[in-house]
Amino acid sequence: MSIYCGVSCALSPHISSPLHFCPNPFVPSKAQTLEHLEMGIIRSSFSFLLGTGCGVYIAQNYNVPDIKKLVNTWLFVAKHVEETYKKPKQKDED
């Protein structure tokens, strides 16, 4: 896909006629798109694998609290506080 650039093209600076068409610099070619996609996959995989490896190392070598147990404890405390300080129900007498 080519568009009218109106200025001299970087690929051929000697041509500056108003009828000169050059590739759109904002639309990457298919090869550039695939390179970017592959690089993105490699970068995201590397970050994920590095994070997983660090997490496993920390979990094995340090005293990391069990999150599920902490969440259940805090939910129990929250329910207890709610039941303790809840307004008593008033009976409707008709």
Question: What are 10-69's pLDDT values in tens digits?
Answer: 555 555 555 555 566 666 566 656 555 556 677 778 888 999 999 999 999 999 888 999
Closest by Cα among 25, 21, 28 to 5: 21
Domain ranges of the chain: 2-85
Catalogue the E-assigned strands of the chain: 2-4, 21-23
Strand partners, 3: 22
The pTM assigned to this predicted structure is 0.37
